Amino acid sequence: MCRRLALLLVVLLAFVAAPMTAHGQAGFDRPGADYANAPVRTGDPRACAQRCERDNRCRAWSFSYPRTTTREPTCWLKSSVTPAKEDSCCVSGVRGAAVVEPNTGPLEYSIDRNGGDYKSTDVDADASGDVCAKLCQADGKCRAFTYLRPGYGGASARCYLKDRITKPRRKPCCISGVVR
């Protein structure tokens, strides 16, 4: 009886943990082998990864940000693992892989720094968020910034300059950074 209970507990823990382990690599698409797609209401790539984990046919997935390949954030499930292609439109992954957010320089991917805004402006869409970082660096008052991707707050991208450093919060809408 105890062995059965222990085995049941192990199986249950594996089932619960599986959806949390599937993620992907930001800045990459996996074109082809699509068998299903659906909008992602939360706008979070992790929801796409979890959808793949729950579908036995899924081998890989791609999440496209809003206003890139489609108007809405969209999850594309793949029946095979196609080669990854660098493309800022997307986050993609293979079933069971971990998220790999870019970690170069001062940019914080999927991070919002809410508050401290003293100026905001529409900017050209820039998957790296670099346009917003440069605006902040050029403004002596700016200490931090948040770049809001197009489609999350409106049709265009927006840059928020901040006069103080606020707490980072994970949100797929944004790229942030601290300059001073």
Query: What are the DSSP calls for 63-125, one per residue?
Result: EE-BTTTBSS-EEEEESS-PPPEEEEEEEEEETTPPPB----TTEEEEEEE-S-EEEEEEE--
pLDDT at 38: 96
The answer to whether 39 and 66 are in contact (CB under 8 A) is no
Please write the tens of the pLDDT for every residue from 124-150: 988 888 999 999 999 999 999 999 999
Q: Looking at per-residue confidence, does 148 or 99 come out higher? A: 148
Distances (CA, A) of 152 to 20, 40, 45: 24, 12, 13
**Helix, strand or coil for residue 165?**
coil
Assess whether the region 16-94 and the region 107-178 belong to the same CATH fold: yes
Stated pTM of the model: 0.72
Can you give the pLDDT at residue 138? 97
- Segment 96-106 shows an average pLDDT of 67
What is the C-alpha to C-alpha distance for residues 23 and 103, in angstroms, rounded to an integer? Answer: 16
The b-or-e profile of 23-42 (16+ CB within 10 A means b, else e) is: bbbbbbbbbeeeeebeebee
* Residue 169 contacts residue 111 (beta carbons within 8 Å): yes
Query: For residues 66 and 86, what is the distance between their CA atoms, to the nearest angstrom?
Result: 17
Confidence band for 103, pLDDT divided at 50, 70 and 90: low
The pLDDT assigned to 102 comes to 64
Q: Which CATH architecture has domain 107-178?
A: 3-Layer(bba) Sandwich (3.50)
Answer whether residue 105 shows pLDDT above 50: yes
User: How far does the chain reach from its first CA to its final CA, in angstroms?
Assistant: 61
Opening angle at CA 105, ends 169 and 159, nearest 5: 55
SS3 47: helix
The fold of the 16-94 domain, in CATH, is Hepatocyte Growth Factor (3.50.4)
Average pLDDT over residues 156-161: 96
Domain boundaries along the sequence of the chain: 16-94, 107-178
pLDDT in tens, 10-46: 333 333 333 333 447 888 999 999 999 999 999 999 8
Which percentage of the chain shows pLDDT scores above 90? 65
Distance, CA of 144 to CA of 161 (rounded, Å): 6
pLDDT digits (tens, 9 = 90+) for 39-92: 999 999 989 999 999 999 999 999 999 988 888 999 999 999 999 999 888 999
Query: How many Å apart are CA 50 and CA 79, to the nearest integer?
Result: 15
